[in-house]
Amino acid sequence: LAKTTQPISMDSYEGQEVNITCSHNNIATNDYITWYQQFPSQGPRFIIQGYKTKVTNEVASLFIPADRKSSTLSLPRVSLSDTAVYYCLVGSPGWAGKSTFGDGTTLTVKP
């Protein structure tokens, strides 16, 4: 099971781009990288997932280098409502093994 390491916290200002990096040095060949967002008093919410290179959706982009030992979640032009905890998760298809959410990164967006 690949262990992930993220910064504990980050601060940003409205309108800026935020990049949160996750390290997963022992990622397995079949593992995908998934990011979740959690607001206070809510369950985590799926944001984006990728296997390699770059993935983009309406919420965020995910950059994965060729060695796949890290990944970067990019949030364009953040707003106050993006203040949340962001979790990086690594796991293989078919739900094999356990998922581990780690400690997450608390992003605080300031006005």
Partner 1 sequence: DARVTQTPRHKVTEMGQEVTMRCQPILGHNTVFWYRQTMMQGLELLAYFRNRAPLDDSGMPKDRFSAEMPDATLATLKIQPSEPRDSAVYFCASGLTSGAPWEQYFGPGTRLTVT
Q: Per the structure block, which two tokens stand in for 29?
A: 């060949």
What are the CA-CA distances from residue 83 to residues 35, 36, 68, 95 (Å)? 15, 13, 27, 29
Distance of CA 13 to the CA centre of its chain: 19
CB of 107 closer than 8 Å to CB of 47: no
| Closest CB 30 distance from partner 1, rounded Å | 9
Of 8-16, 58-66, 75-83, 95-103, which part binds partner 1 (CB under 8 A)?
Answer: 95-103
Q: Given candidates 21, 32, 72, 83, which one binds partner 1 under the rule CB under 8 A?
A: 32
Contact status: 13 vs partner 1 (CB under 8 A): no
Examine residue 91 and tell whether it contacts partner 1 (CB under 8 A): yes
Residue numbers at the binding site for partner 1 (CB under 8 A): 32, 34, 41-46, 49, 87, 89, 91-95, 98-104
